[in-house]
């Protein structure tokens, strides 16, 4: 457990959060193209495509783990979604609203620990909650016309699972890997390598 010395954002916090967000915004746009391209591979059970969802949720958890300040998870996810929409995501401007909801899920996990715990269990919870936000949004906004038992519920469960593994564990592993290189030395995540 580590406690941020202040909740006030430094310039380096803003710059790094923006880099994470813009970088993932481009990844989101490309991931959307891949999502559509692999549709046929999931024709046997369309809801199973939700196993790919976690990639869209990584910046929320990653931003929270690196920046460790209130609002970082929400900022990174919302800006990434905005960049994706500006690049022409097939889902349009509604992805901005979706990014806010997803970022809020991860933000709630970090807030639950008062921005003092950034270990794997917290990252997993952040991933699960951002996945829950995504699943709930999709449940009502995108998947309302689909069958409840054969599509909507399995899709929601797989979204949360994917988010927990890819965004939660994945962002934790990525933070640890980045800290090991020294690029995060200006952040607690880099100075507390053994606690990441």
8 A C-beta contact, residue 151 and residue 46: yes
8 A C-beta contact, residue 82 and residue 26: no
Whole-structure pTM value = 0.92
Is residue 122 helix, strand or coil? Answer: helix
Cα–Cα–Cα angle for 12, 17, 20, nearest 5°?
125
CA distance 83 to 170: 22
In the chain, where the domains are located: 11-189
The CATH number of 11-189 is 1.10.1760
pLDDT tens per residue across all 196 residues of the chain: 555 457 899 999 999 999 999 999 999 999 999 999 999 999 999 999 999 999 999 999 999 999 999 999 999 999 999 999 999 998 999 999 999 999 999 999 999 999 999 999 999 999 999 999 999 999 999 999 999 999 999 999 999 999 999 999 999 999 999 999 999 998 888 877 554 4
DSSP character string of the chain: ----S-SSPPHHHHHHHHHHHHHHHHHHHHHHHHHHHTGGGGTTSGGGGGGGGGGGGHHHHHHHHHH-STTHHHHHHHHHHHHHHHTT-TTTTHHHHHHHHHHHHHHHHHHHTTT---SHHHHHHHHHHHHHHHHHHHHHHTSTTS-IIIIIHHHHHHHHHHIIIIIIIHHHHHHHHHHHHTTTTTSHHHHTGGG-
């Amino acid at each position: 457990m580590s406690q941020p010395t202040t909740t006030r954002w430094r310039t380096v916090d803003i710059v790094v959060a923006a880099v994470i967000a813009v970088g993932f915004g481009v990844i989101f746009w490309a991931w959307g193209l891949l999502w559509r391209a692999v549709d046929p591979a999931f024709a046997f059970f369309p809801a199973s495509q939700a196993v790919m969802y976690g990639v869209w949720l990584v910046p929320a958890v990653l931003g929270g783990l690196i920046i460790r300040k209130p609002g970082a998870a929400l900022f990174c996810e919302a800006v990434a979604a905005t960049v994706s929409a500006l690049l022409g995501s097939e889902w349009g401007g509604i992805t901005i609203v979706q990014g806010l909801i997803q970022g809020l899920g991860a933000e709630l996990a970090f807030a639950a620990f008062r921005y003092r715990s950034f270990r794997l269990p917290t990252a997993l919870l952040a991933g699960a909650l951002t996945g829950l936000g995504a699943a709930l949004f999709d449940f009502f906004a995108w998947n309302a016309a689909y069958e409840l038992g054969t599509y909507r519920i399995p899709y929601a469960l797989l979204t949360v699972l994917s988010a927990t593994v890819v965004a939660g564990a994945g962002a934790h592993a990525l933070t640890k890997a980045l800290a090991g290189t020294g690029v995060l030395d200006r952040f607690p995540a880099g100075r507390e390598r053994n606690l990441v």
